[in-house]
A and B are shown apart, each in its own frame.
Chain A
């Protein structure tokens, strides 16, 4: 599919495709780039909150829970059905999660049960409706390059709402994430803040799942914040780095898709972008570890110096 799409771009010539900017003038590459940049902003806000509240596994559960909704939506309404399906599934998952938690199950158990149930259900649905809805890999990664202006508009709107929710409540969210008991004693509406945070996460997951697939949605929310944390101990820097990381790896991933297609390799675009992000994360981990070792070395020298005195 990628190669077929890129066939249109053959007109601009191979030399220009190697150039890092020109390919994105083509709408089928410009739209996904725009989406990935918007998701980078979500990574720096919603993603950082997920990281601070250690909600990575819940977010994973949510992305997988959205999956059967995508399958049902696609079977009933084609691509137009994806978003309503995702929203419906996210709501259903939230209700089931709350019910299981209320039964006294630990949060991780509840998430694992919801993840497995919804995900298996989605796979069964996709296998039953083969041909009409799309393949499993489509739901995971496949539609990054086929997103329309309409889809993009809806996705950008949902992401904007999610980012706005977090920015407006940012300082209270930080207090509640740092010390929930202290925030409650200080009179902050901790439960309401949690709900607002969860809604924002769900909006990003829904927008990303319906447009770039389930697994890339998860990568975009979780990987940039984790990479930023490996590089810095400062929160404002971590936010800036998350956004920059998401934008750069998103753009590099797309660029890589173009290069691979040029060499005749039809790599799944979403998965390629996700792998680019993971590669960036590994680099960040390495750099962070090196810097940590150097800082520890400096500290040891300082201690030695102090002892010598």
Chain B
């Protein structure tokens, strides 16, 4: 499966870290165009390090390492952004920022404006385009930042806990957007603590805890045994067929520093904080 030539991401025997001992080892997986892969593991498992590695912001060693490298080919949505609510930009201007990696120093043309309008439509926020970004609700801001990522017309989208702290309408809207993107052939890698959502939108799941535990169809990976192995040191709540871990609560702590959404992205401090 991972041998398919047109995979957007293809990694074999990958190890990721920030110098020193690797944070995550034994990573072998692929993401096909139009496929969403869930990246699941407890805090400190190395999920963010893997995302940073794909972006070239963390170091990697691998037998095979193929990721998009062109300008704007990878879009990202981080868990939390230290964004100043008073910053004088409209939603549309924020989404247009996402176009800059493709533009370089060129001035945007009508084609670029169409892409920005399209990205706004894809997240269902067209009518809010002239609203100041800081005046949007948390869920709308998150969708706005997703639209910013879409404005670079990425082949691969990295979403880090995109459902964290979202109200139900924003969750539904985001799931709908992810389905639309898959239909357009965008590859997605989504970290989440919400196993139900992984089941809802992700075809395959990569389960990690400092090493790769499993990578297969989501239903095959998210078995009680596998999840128990990944979240070994963590208490689990089993609610019907839904597996929810206590990590879900930990991830919503506001003071929790996450390297992927952090200014010190290139540094290991946040990742070490996460590890027990």
| B87 touching A52, Cβ below 8 Å | yes
Q: Tell whether A184 pairs with B57 under 8 Å between CB atoms, given A52-B87, A229-B88, A233-B88.
A: yes
Is A172 among interface residues, defined by CB-CB distance under 8 A?
A: yes
Q: Across the interface, which residues of A come within 8 angstroms of B94, CB to CB? A: 178
Number of A-B pairs, beta carbon distance below 8 Å = 73
Is B49 among interface residues, defined by CB-CB distance under 8 A?
A: no
Contact with B along A152-175 (1 / 0, CB 8 A): 000000000000000011011011
| B88 touching A185, Cβ below 8 Å | no
Q: Nearest CB to that of B154 among chain A residues?
A: A186
Bound CA span A171–B104, Å:
9
CB interface residues, A 194-246, toward B, < 8 Å: 229, 232-235, 238
| A175 touching B100, Cβ below 8 Å | yes
Q: Across the interface, which residues of A come within 8 angstroms of B261, CB to CB? A: 181
Q: Which of B78, B101, B148 contacts A187 (CB 8 A)?
A: B101
Q: Nearest CB to that of B149 among chain A residues?
A: A186
Is B145 among interface residues, defined by CB-CB distance under 8 A?
A: yes
Is B34 among interface residues, defined by CB-CB distance under 8 A?
A: no
Is B93 among interface residues, defined by CB-CB distance under 8 A?
A: yes
Is A297 among interface residues, defined by CB-CB distance under 8 A?
A: no
Q: Nearest CB to that of B107 among chain A residues?
A: A171
Q: Tell whether A182 pairs with B81 under 8 Å between CB atoms, given A174-B93, A233-B132, A234-B88.
A: yes
Q: Nearest CB to that of A186 among chain B residues?
A: B101
Is A285 among interface residues, defined by CB-CB distance under 8 A?
A: no
| A169 touching B55, Cβ below 8 Å | no
| B76 touching A186, Cβ below 8 Å | yes
Q: Across the interface, which residues of A come within 8 angstroms of B55, CB to CB? A: 185, 187
| A235 touching B88, Cβ below 8 Å | yes
Bound CA span A251–B83, Å:
37
| B88 touching A171, Cβ below 8 Å | no
Q: Which of A52, A174, A178, A181 contacts B265 (CB 8 A)?
A: A181
Is A180 among interface residues, defined by CB-CB distance under 8 A?
A: yes
Give the shortest distance, in Å, between A54 (CB) and chain B (any CB). Answer: 9
CB interface residues, B 79-98, toward A, < 8 Å: 81-84, 87-90, 93-94, 96-98
Is B46 among interface residues, defined by CB-CB distance under 8 A?
A: no
| B88 touching A186, Cβ below 8 Å | no
Is B72 among interface residues, defined by CB-CB distance under 8 A?
A: yes
| A186 touching B152, Cβ below 8 Å | yes
Is A92 among interface residues, defined by CB-CB distance under 8 A?
A: no
Is B125 among interface residues, defined by CB-CB distance under 8 A?
A: no
| A171 touching B262, Cβ below 8 Å | no
Q: Across the interface, which residues of A come within 8 angstroms of B101, CB to CB? A: 186-188
| B72 touching A180, Cβ below 8 Å | no
| B81 touching A181, Cβ below 8 Å | yes
Of residues A168, A178, A180, which shows the largest number of chain B Cβ atoms within 10 Å of its Cβ?
Answer: A178
Q: Tell whether A185 pairs with B76 under 8 Å between CB atoms, given A52-B87, A172-B100.
A: yes
Give the shortest distance, in Å, between A224 (CB) and chain B (any CB). Answer: 15
| B78 touching A235, Cβ below 8 Å | no
Is A179 among interface residues, defined by CB-CB distance under 8 A?
A: yes
Q: Nearest CB to that of B70 among chain A residues?
A: A187
Q: Which of A52, A181, A238 contacts B262 (CB 8 A)?
A: A181
Q: Which of A168, A169, A174, A187 contacts B97 (CB 8 A)?
A: A174
Q: Which of B84, B89, B100 contacts A186 (CB 8 A)?
A: B100
Q: Nearest CB to that of B130 among chain A residues?
A: A234
Bound CA span A5–B218, Å:
84
Is B236 among interface residues, defined by CB-CB distance under 8 A?
A: no
| A238 touching B88, Cβ below 8 Å | yes
Q: Nearest CB to that of A168 among chain B residues?
A: B105
Bound CA span A174–B75, Å:
18
| B81 touching A171, Cβ below 8 Å | no
Is B71 among interface residues, defined by CB-CB distance under 8 A?
A: yes
Q: Nearest CB to that of A235 among chain B residues?
A: B88
Bound CA span A203–B71, Å:
31
Is B225 among interface residues, defined by CB-CB distance under 8 A?
A: no
Q: Which of A182, A233, A238 contacts B145 (CB 8 A)?
A: A182
Is B103 among interface residues, defined by CB-CB distance under 8 A?
A: yes
Q: Which of A169, A184, A233 contacts B105 (CB 8 A)?
A: A169
Bound CA span A249–B207, Å:
63
Q: Across the interface, which residues of A come within 8 angstroms of B98, CB to CB? A: 186
Q: Across the interface, which residues of B come within 8 angstroms of A184, CB to CB? A: 57, 265
Q: Nearest CB to that of B56 among chain A residues?
A: A187
Bound CA span A229–B97, Å:
21
A-B contact pairs, 15 of them (CB 8 A): A52-B87, A171-B97, A171-B100, A174-B89, A178-B89, A178-B97, A179-B82, A181-B81, A185-B78, A186-B72, A186-B101, A187-B71, A187-B72, A187-B74, A234-B88
By a beta-carbon cutoff of 8 Å, the part of chain A in contact with chain B is: 52, 168-169, 171-172, 174-175, 177-188, 229, 232-235, 238
A187-B71, A234-B90 known, 11 other contacts, Cβ within 8 Å: A178-B94, A179-B81, A180-B263, A181-B261, A181-B263, A182-B76, A182-B145, A185-B76, A186-B100, A186-B152, A188-B100
By a beta-carbon cutoff of 8 Å, the part of chain B in contact with chain A is: 55, 57, 71-72, 74-76, 78, 81-84, 87-90, 93-94, 96-98, 100-101, 103, 105, 108, 132, 145, 148-149, 152, 261-263, 265
Q: Which 9 residue pairs spanning A and B have beta carbons closest together?
A: A175-B97, A185-B76, A235-B88, A186-B101, A187-B101, A171-B100, A172-B100, A181-B263, A233-B88
